[in-house]
Structure 1
Amino acid sequence: MSESVRTTDHKKIQKWAESRGGVPAKIKDTGKDDADGVLRIHFPKNSDNDDKFEEISWEDFFENFDDNKLDFLYQDKKADGEQSTFHKFVNRE
């Protein structure tokens, strides 16, 4: 059985993403101005839609993450034991 974990720990989030080839990104044209946009961890090696993502710095990513009071929900492994890239951003409780 796979288990999800919830965190706001910047180092833990960055380590999880980078160990899977993920980079901080936002979806283009989803914000009110250049600083805004829907956050994502983008996995370029697993994606055919690179043109819809804009890679951003970890500093900008976490500033947006904290400003919007988000939590990071993620899985380490899939039910079959394989490494997982499942994640999503949820509102902090």
Structure 2
Amino acid sequence: MSGRSGPTSGRSVRSSQQIVSLADQPERPGRSLVTTNHEVIQRWARARKAKPATIAGTERDGRAGVLTFDFPGYRQSRRLRPITWNEWFKTFDERRLNLIYQEQLRNGRPSNFFRTESPDREDA
């Protein structure tokens, strides 16, 4: 599975390198990447000790709201609510989201940059 596209696909999805499997590697440090592959997303998060989470108060009809990750030492917000990987990916797939992320900064240091984006909505 590569990045999802749709009528409102953002420039960031179109200009990011597609990562479709665990074997794919960034072309260069600092490169923006896009994936929908669950194994790639879990490997990226686990390498940073990040856990799946949602922002409390953004839930809809009992489903997870805004998807995010809880990084140790970062974003220690009381609004972060831990969720399971199954719940995170169910919401991710139902909303047809892409994960745009970086493995490394341009200087080669690990990057925690990520965001989710929907090709179906301008306000994803």
Runs of 4+ in structure 1 displaced over 6 angstroms?
none
**Partner residue in 1 for 2:46:** 18
Query: Are positions 1:29 and 2:57 aligned together?
Result: yes
- Matched residue SS, 1:46: coil
**Partner residue in 2 for 1:40:** 68
**Partner residue in 1 for 2:104:** 77
Flag the structure with higher helix content. Answer: 1
Identity of aligned residues (%): 33
Flag the structure with higher strand content. Answer: 1
Deviation at 1:81, TM superposition (A): 1.0
- Between the aligned partners of 2:63 and 2:97, the Cα distance in structure 1 is 16
- Matched residue SS, 1:62: helix
Number of aligned positions between the proteins: 92
Deviation at 1:32, TM superposition (A): 2.3
Query: Are positions 1:91 and 2:118 aligned together?
Result: yes
- Between the aligned partners of 2:80 and 2:112, the Cα distance in structure 1 is 17
- Between the aligned partners of 2:68 and 2:76, the Cα distance in structure 1 is 15
Deviation at 1:92, TM superposition (A): 3.6
With normalisation by structure 2, the TM-score equals 0.69
User: Does structure 2 conserve the Cα–Cα contact (< 8 Å) formed by 1:24 and 1:57?
Assistant: yes
User: Does structure 2 conserve the Cα–Cα contact (< 8 Å) formed by 1:28 and 1:53?
Assistant: yes
User: Does structure 1 conserve the Cα–Cα contact (< 8 Å) formed by 2:97 and 2:117?
Assistant: yes
With normalisation by structure 1, the TM-score equals 0.90
**Partner residue in 2 for 1:53:** 80
User: Does structure 1 conserve the Cα–Cα contact (< 8 Å) formed by 2:64 and 2:88?
Assistant: no
